[in-house]
Amino acid sequence: MTFPENLQFLRGQNGVTQEQLAEQLNVSRQSVSKWESGTSFPEMDTLLRICDLYNTNLDTLLRGSLEESLVSDTARYDAFMNRFILRVTCAVGAIMAAIGVMCMMDGFGVHEMLSVAFFMLVVTISVVILVASGIEHDHFCKKHPVIQDFYTEEEKEAFHHRFIWYISGGVGAILFGVVFLLIACAFPAVEEAHEALISGTFLLILAGAVMSFTYGGMQDEKYKIWKYNRDNNPTPEAKKRLDLIGTICGCIMLGMTAIYIALGLSRGSWGTSVWLFVVGGIGCGITSIILNPYKGEDD
């Protein structure tokens, strides 16, 4: 392949238009068009920048075949993402499960402050894992802003079959939890302690469903290399939207945490106020949907 063919291949693989590539390289779109038609050639600094952007080397870009060379996971993207997804899934599931365990501890007569301390310990560990994983993910994205799509169609199809079971399994777990609640509530003489145990069991089942949804959804995103590349190279307008989403979600969760602590200290409602974090999560989700700069592009 020649340089023009390699450049067109890189753009096609990463879903980048001539205008977007020109913006990344600080050149005009006409320059990119001339490079791809073979009527002109970029300067050495520009060639090196292309190599940095698309994680390739100069010799392959100019004289080799990128289509043949970019068939392996040189950045170890798959292994990194699998670790990242597993950590996030376990951390999110642990927080949900801790709520259920806290309810069950109340049912067994454990002092409320001990159950709250257990919950806060799990939340603390989970948050540390989420923050550390997020920092590692951000570092990986900066080190590898562009990944070549090395997944074969067979691998994507095989995952699609597994994805169906992740989602249907989560839905099934929720429905099973509802059936469990209906059966448990069918007995009118259920004591208050038993109600706490029933609620805790339901929340544990719900935690399993959330973990299934989270793991399946994040694995599905892992295979969308084009989306990874787009998100790591956003347009100025998209970057503003993404920064705004992060700021609003951060304020929402900080506000909910402050309210939770205030209610706990003033009314002692450490256990019953946990729902505030659910409300905060829903608020962040709604914010992300409304301000999403890529509406319609992920379909």
Regarding whether 269 and 213 lie in a shared domain, the answer is no
Same domain? 251 vs 215: no
How many other C-beta atoms are found inside a 10 Å radius of the C-beta of residue 189?
A: 5
**Each residue of 145-163: pLDDT tens digit?**
888 778 888 888 999 999 9
Distance CA 159, CA 164 (A): 9
Residues 209, 257, single domain; the answer is no
pLDDT bracket for residue 298 (50, 70, 90): low
Same domain membership, residue 264 and residue 165? no
Assess whether 185 and 297 both reside in one domain: no
Residues 208, 272 within the same domain: no
Distance CA 139, CA 131 (A): 12
Whether residues 24 and 92 fall in one domain: no
Q: Are residues 136 and 174 in the same domain?
A: yes
- Statement to judge: residues 90 and 226 lie in one domain: yes
**Residues of the domain holding 41:** 3-69
Clarify whether residues 138 and 160 are in a common domain.
Answer: yes
Count: domains in the chain: 3
pLDDT tens, 33-79?
888 888 888 888 888 888 877 777 777 778 777 666 555 666 789 99
Domain boundary among 25, 46, 69: 69
